[in-house]
Structure 1
Amino acid sequence: MPQGDIRTNNLKKPVDVSEYLFTRLHQIGVRSVHGLPGDYNLVALDYLPKAGLTWVGSCNELNAAYAADGYARVKGISALITTFGVGELSAINGIAGAYSEMVPVVHIVGCPSTVSQRNGMLLHHTLGNGDFNVFANMSALVSCVLAKLNDPAEIAAQIDHALRECYVRSRPVYLMLPTDMAIAKVEGERLESPIDLHSPENDADKEDYVVDVVLKYLHAAKKPVVLVDACAVRHRVLDEVHAFITKTKLPVFVTPMGKSAVDETQPNYGGVYVGDASHPDVKEMVEGSDLVLSIGSLKSDFNTAGFSYRLSQLNSIDLHSTHCVVRYSEYSGVHMRGVLRKVTERVDLSQLKVNPVPATVLKPIDTSTIPADSAILQSWFWRAIGDGPFLRENDIIITETGTANFGIWDTRFPAGVTALNQVLWGSIGWALGACQGAALGAKDAGTDRRTILFEGDGSLQLTVQEISTMIRHHLNIILFTICNDGYTIERFIHGMDAEYNDIVEWKYKDLPTVFGGTDETVKKYVVKTKAELEALLADADFNNRKGLRFVELYMPREDAPTSLQLTAQASARNNAKLE
């Protein structure tokens, strides 16, 4: 009798590997799976419905990876399925972005059978050299776990470990699923025990020591402020952040990557700190503080306006997902969640010095003096979006790399808003795919949240096909296409009039029709003046209808937010440095 049969006969509740994997995905919160079919993953795809999962069907693998990124940011974790070689390499840019920005994506790659690999067969989608590990090796550096599911005796444990690491570490994982293993049997009894997704607890003594040190400096500070950044979002400590700032009422600021991490309706919310590109009052208060409690900082160039922070480590406490730094002392292995909880519990409010945030920073902008037929300008557009009634509680707001990513700093959000951006990786075109994934994540979560995308015309042209996926899945999306004739962010870095920053002008409002939209499923708008914008934002049908609302929004070609101009200048200087 073959050895495989003995193994199967010893299983208490045998299930196929594909069923096991997809059931586990469902158990940890995934409801829809992005990707594209290919002959090495087709058999596995047949198991999706049985596990309660919906197949999305993206237009290409890169867009699918972007969508999985957006889905995970809203739903908590996501899954992407591609085929060996050609499919996974198309997706790897999106996966690298998820790794860079700490987004938990499970990347499943259907690959040739274990027999084909052992025999070094000359198969399609290979390099023709018999090496079946070359593509996995490429993905290894952008995955926190790489698991080759080659042995039925180990596969179930490999899957459970990879999914736990993906969630806890908030990074992509790579699962290589051979065609013959997709239908191999594993122990299904394991499915009765959920995967433990809790982060490990800190050593109590170390944690208490760090808490005491933090409280010592916090109680002594005369002008303390709180600065919340991306890792507080990615590592799911926002409940602890809000408990702390609600109890202490300390002035709290966010970075561009931390935008929406804090309830911006709180009276102690002071705005966005981004070094030299900050509002002057924000810059003065943060940089003039004698103690900055920084939570989850990620000091990349665009997140700091070209490394223009002016914060002394002597006056800083940095809380991270793997360690904490208090002034010049680092405490490895002490995670921020436990520290934040205990600091909140033990802080002595009578010893805190709480200063008011600058009142001028978030004061509504007066646009009444701007002529009705004025062109729409970056200088007031982003404030007007937040000052009026257009935005709603719990909206999802996505901004593309470019003018939108910088302009949104000036928009004040209602409570419960989730803002998505890709400031660190900065792959142009990411936002359209991420928007589709985010909107689907909201739908799968059983919510009625609107997803609002601000997308440049140049970026749109990279990933425009996913409009068809939005329409196909009846997603609730408002898509503002900023028509300003090309790559504005690149123009301000270098080449304002260079041909390489130009694009072909499309007939944008016709795109939803090309991609399958009808008058019932899509409504299209063209907005060129202040009056037209105000009328649109106040339009009840525009705000309340379901499905895709596609807006052509025209802005001048050489107009950009001041924050983008300052950051672009810093980027150009860094690019020009010789040593």
Structure 2
Amino acid sequence: MRKSVGTYLIERLQQLGVRRIYGVPGDYNLEFLELIEQAEGLTFIGNCNELNAAYAADGDARLSGISAVLTTYGVGDLSALSAIAGSYAEGVPVIMISGIPPLHAIAQRALLHHTLADGGYENVMNCYRQFTVAQARLVPQDAAVEIDRVLGAAWREKQPVYLQLPSDTCCVSIAAPAGSDISPQPGSDPVQLQAAVAEIVRRLEQATRPVLLLDALVRRYDLGAWVRQLSEMLDIPFATLATSKAALCETSPHYQGIYGGKASSPALYDLVRQADCVIGLGVRFVDATSGYFSQSFDSDAFINIGAFDVRCGTDAFMGVAAADLLDGVLAHLAARASSSPTTKTTPVTTTEVPGKAIGTAEWGQPAFWARIQTFLRTGDVVLADNGTSLVALTHMRMPAECHFVSQPIWAAIGYTLPALLGALNASPERRHLLFIGDGSFQMTAQELSSILRAGHRPVIFLLNNRGYTIERMILGEKAAYNDIANWDYAALPDVLGPSGGAVCLRAGNADELEAALRQAEDPRHLVFIELAFEPMDGPTGIASFGGVVRRYDYGAFGEG
């Protein structure tokens, strides 16, 4: 069967579950956009710029499993690159497609617009090789093979990939394989799998103080059901790193809170430090998730389960898929439990007490976040932008079935506003709450227009500290470089969207907050709430966090 390259690419995208492609039109991708317009079940979502488009695709993929973004060559690619790098750091499968100049122009090294006008056409590809797990320039002779290879890598590895689609290749017909699966899971080596299962079961049976540490792998590979069953079967307490917040239900009696080394609660820090079996699910200790590398536990007792390997102390088992491994461990434990009683551990609850409504005389971020704890409800999608919002919400207990979206590793401010658009498109039936600071908002504010254009109804909390509060906590409390223009934020929805498309509110005290939250409980329109705080007003613990960062980054120079 013969199909055009563009048609085959669209069909393969849909086969993986892609339902939306975000992006910006450009002269090199218009023919592909024509095909998208004609495709049933696939929608192009136009964005204000390519950076926002890639952020939106990332937000979509975190709820739907996979998404795609379309740009034009050069200017579009490099605009989106920072967002794609963030998807790589955080493990989000985003398929980046670039409409590039025609093959005949590339062969002739023609000096075209959107290039460096030096005849070179490898520089952008070289950039993307650093931030994606697979790349290809689609040419007619091997387009089908390359599409399947690259898309399969995105699906299996849960990472971004990059495809260049030359403008004169999109509608060229090719021999297209029919019916083959482009995303087979690699499966496990049976010998390695059996050995890994036996070693983990042995360690669990000998342990008296086991604990589970969850990272982004759990949500990325949909391992929650296996991990929950393991925790419940043996009464093993679990904690999550900031990168996997709400990956398992935080109302579970086994949930112990967010682990971040010495930034954890003292009880949780001691629980992990004293554990005689620590089972990690894809654990990576970066500065932001480890209290600046202050994690402490017995390395010989550490089992770290990766997507396709597992390490038990100094032993490594390669070619073992995480789902197969957990299946095998649970089967062994269930079989042994049926023949002999299993000694269970007793989980120790270390989570924080939920917040309460604030008094009328109280105002400030600690009181605000305590009130927000009571505003959250089952099934919410909660987005926290980097800064005071992420610091506060990371240590707040989420209700059952919530989905938490943040970017603690790449930590690009402004990520969550366009990511909100993607999350809303992926799961429009759920309530979405965005918490974003004024500095973060100014980075990507224009994408609010796309959210309004689509008729979405999230609740957006804009924390206005008149500048970069989290940076002030690190250095430059009164420095001009941490100041920003003080926009009239609550007026923006009426500028960026249809008149009456949003309910715009301001709160500068507890009574005004309560009035705003009452309107936000059942929004019939987008609800935008601007919250006025003083420049150094932040959640509990942020000042000490700033000190840790200052000492790590600047040493003695930061204390002057």
Structure-2-length-normalised TM-score:
0.94
Aligned to 1:280: 266
| 2:554 paired with 1:576 | yes
Aligned to 1:9: none
- Partner SS, residue 23 of structure 1: helix
| 2:89 paired with 1:100 | yes
Between stretches 170-179 and 308-317, larger displacement belongs to: 308-317
Aligned to 1:7: none
Match of 1:504 among 481, 485, 498: 485
Would the alpha carbon gap of residues 461 and 116 (structure 1) be closer, same or farther in structure 2, given more than 3 Å must change? same
How far apart, CA to CA, are the structure 1 residues paired with 2:155 and 2:18? 12
How many pairs align? Answer: 550
Shift of 1:467: 0.2
Shift of 1:516: 1.6
Aligned to 2:409: 424
Shift of 1:181: 0.4
Aligned to 2:145: 157
Aligned to 1:363: 353
The one-letter code sitting in structure 2 at the alignment partner of 1:114 is L
Would the alpha carbon gap of residues 480 and 33 (structure 1) be closer, same or farther in structure 2, given more than 3 Å must change? same
Shift of 1:501: 0.9
How far apart, CA to CA, are the structure 1 residues paired with 2:523 and 2:385? 24
Unaligned runs of 5+ in 1: 1-11
Aligned to 1:479: 460
| 2:441 paired with 1:453 | no
Cα shift readout 1:191-244 (whole Å, capped 9, x = no counterpart): x41534342111112111111111111111111111111122223322222222
Aligned to 1:551: 529
Would the alpha carbon gap of residues 64 and 273 (structure 1) be closer, same or farther in structure 2, given more than 3 Å must change? same
How far apart, CA to CA, are the structure 2 residues paired with 1:382 and 1:206? 47
Match of 2:516 among 516, 536, 541: 536
Cα shift readout 1:471-516 (whole Å, capped 9, x = no counterpart): 1112231111111111111112221111111111000001111102
How far apart, CA to CA, are the structure 1 residues paired with 2:175 and 2:29? 22
Match of 1:311 among 262, 272, 297: 297
Aligned to 2:311: 325
Aligned to 1:88: 77
How far apart, CA to CA, are the structure 1 residues paired with 2:426 and 2:544? 35
Cα shift readout 1:298-342 (whole Å, capped 9, x = no counterpart): 211001121111122122111111321112222233232211121
- Percent pairwise identity: 35
The one-letter code sitting in structure 2 at the alignment partner of 1:530 is A
Match of 1:561 among 510, 522, 539: 539
1:211-360 to structure 2, matched below 5 A, reads 211-347=197-333, 348=336, 350-358=341-349
- Partner SS, residue 124 of structure 1: coil
| 2:389 paired with 1:404 | yes
Match of 1:22 among 10, 27, 50: 10
Cα shift readout 1:229-278 (whole Å, capped 9, x = no counterpart): 11222233222222222323311111111101111121211211111111
Shift of 1:441: 1.4
Contact in 1 for aligned 2:36/2:44 (Cα 8 Å)? yes
How far apart, CA to CA, are the structure 1 residues paired with 2:99 and 2:497? 30
Unaligned runs of 5+ in 2: none
Would the alpha carbon gap of residues 196 and 243 (structure 1) be closer, same or farther in structure 2, given more than 3 Å must change? farther
Contact in 2 for aligned 1:27/1:194 (Cα 8 Å)? no
Aligned to 1:78: 67
How far apart, CA to CA, are the structure 2 residues paired with 1:406 and 1:156? 45
Contact in 1 for aligned 2:193/2:317 (Cα 8 Å)? no
Aligned to 1:5: none
Match of 1:135 among 114, 124, 131: 124
Contact in 2 for aligned 1:302/1:567 (Cα 8 Å)? no
How far apart, CA to CA, are the structure 1 residues paired with 2:150 and 2:224? 25
Shift of 1:366: 4.7
Cα shift readout 1:407-455 (whole Å, capped 9, x = no counterpart): 1123221221110111000111111111111111113xxxx11121100
Aligned to 1:395: 380
Cα shift readout 1:514-549 (whole Å, capped 9, x = no counterpart): 102321x21111122223333433x2x522224421
Cα shift readout 1:100-132 (whole Å, capped 9, x = no counterpart): 111111111111111011111111111111111
Shift of 1:371: 3.6
Shift of 1:577: 5.1
How far apart, CA to CA, are the structure 2 residues paired with 1:265 and 1:253? 12
| 2:415 paired with 1:434 | no
- Partner SS, residue 302 of structure 1: helix
Would the alpha carbon gap of residues 506 and 167 (structure 1) be closer, same or farther in structure 2, given more than 3 Å must change? same
Cα shift readout 1:73-115 (whole Å, capped 9, x = no counterpart): 1111111000011111111111111111111111111111110
The one-letter code sitting in structure 2 at the alignment partner of 1:411 is M
Aligned to 2:38: 50
Contact in 2 for aligned 1:251/1:268 (Cα 8 Å)? yes
- Partner SS, residue 320 of structure 2: coil
How far apart, CA to CA, are the structure 1 residues paired with 2:254 and 2:324? 23
How far apart, CA to CA, are the structure 1 residues paired with 2:32 and 2:173? 13
The one-letter code sitting in structure 2 at the alignment partner of 1:220 is Q
The one-letter code sitting in structure 1 at the alignment partner of 2:372 is I
Contact in 2 for aligned 1:277/1:566 (Cα 8 Å)? no
Match of 2:503 among 490, 510, 523: 523
| 2:105 paired with 1:119 | no
- Partner SS, residue 92 of structure 1: helix
Contact in 2 for aligned 1:71/1:437 (Cα 8 Å)? yes
- Partner SS, residue 170 of structure 2: helix
How far apart, CA to CA, are the structure 2 residues paired with 1:194 and 1:477? 40
Cα shift readout 1:380-417 (whole Å, capped 9, x = no counterpart): 4334322x2x2222211110010111111232212211
Contact in 2 for aligned 1:224/1:353 (Cα 8 Å)? no
Would the alpha carbon gap of residues 196 and 130 (structure 1) be closer, same or farther in structure 2, given more than 3 Å must change? closer
Aligned to 1:184: 172
Aligned to 1:169: 157
How far apart, CA to CA, are the structure 1 residues paired with 2:369 and 2:318? 41
Contact in 1 for aligned 2:149/2:182 (Cα 8 Å)? no
Match of 1:148 among 124, 133, 137: 137
Contact in 2 for aligned 1:375/1:556 (Cα 8 Å)? no
How far apart, CA to CA, are the structure 2 residues paired with 1:253 and 1:383? 22
Contact in 2 for aligned 1:230/1:298 (Cα 8 Å)? no
- Partner SS, residue 310 of structure 1: coil
Would the alpha carbon gap of residues 563 and 22 (structure 1) be closer, same or farther in structure 2, given more than 3 Å must change? farther
The one-letter code sitting in structure 1 at the alignment partner of 2:66 is I
How far apart, CA to CA, are the structure 2 residues paired with 1:510 and 1:268? 45
Structure-1-length-normalised TM-score:
0.91
- Partner SS, residue 294 of structure 1: strand
- Partner SS, residue 110 of structure 1: strand
Contact in 2 for aligned 1:323/1:335 (Cα 8 Å)? yes
How far apart, CA to CA, are the structure 2 residues paired with 1:562 and 1:376? 10
Aligned to 1:206: 192
- Partner SS, residue 463 of structure 1: helix
Shift of 1:284: 2.1
How far apart, CA to CA, are the structure 2 residues paired with 1:225 and 1:269? 10
